[in-house]
Amino acid sequence: MAQRLAWLKLNKRYVPQIYAQLAAVYQTAGFDDEATKVSVAGEHARRSSLPGLAGRAARVAGFLLKWTVLYGYRPLRVLWWLLALEAAGTLSFLALYSDHQLIARKEAPGFNAFLYTLDLLLPVVSLKQRDFWIPDGWASWLAAGFTVAGWGLALCLAVGVGRIFKAR
């Protein structure tokens, strides 16, 4: 299969039909993983061939989609990113809490670094942790980064799940 993909890359311009045809052949033969690899290579080639500023934006979006949901062919892959960020955030905010960079509001419950990180990463769910704890110093930058990462992962997941419904 690597030989066939290398052969497809020899084309000077992106031709979607050749990727679709090869993926269909693999799919018909029962080689689903190979068909997915060909489809991913075709999506990468499509995004790489776009010119100008729109092409640059598509390449950045493609980079994110490739590494988070494999262009929508593996949407649950985003959960690994969520778990990795959750672990990193829990350890980081625990250390920042010890450094007194998270300030409690009045009547705040006990600080829970795991729930605080999860509250930052999940954009549509409120666990009320970020309402009670105010980040200060480096913690505010880290909290903003985790919030942006959470929205990015949610967007990639939506695109990935959208591809599932589009394919059917």
What Cα–Cα distance (Å) separates residue 129 from each residue in 95, 111, 125? 17, 8, 11
118-132 average pLDDT score: 91
User: pLDDT tens across 108-118, in order?
Assistant: 888 999 999 99
Angle between helices 52-69 and 138-167 (to 10 degrees): 90
User: pLDDT tens across 84-121, in order?
Assistant: 999 999 999 999 999 999 999 888 888 999 999 999 99
Its pTM stands at 0.77
Question: 114 CB contacts (<8 Å, ≥6 apart)?
Answer: 86, 90
Contact 136, 42 (CB under 8 A): no
**Residue 70 pLDDT exceeds 80:** yes
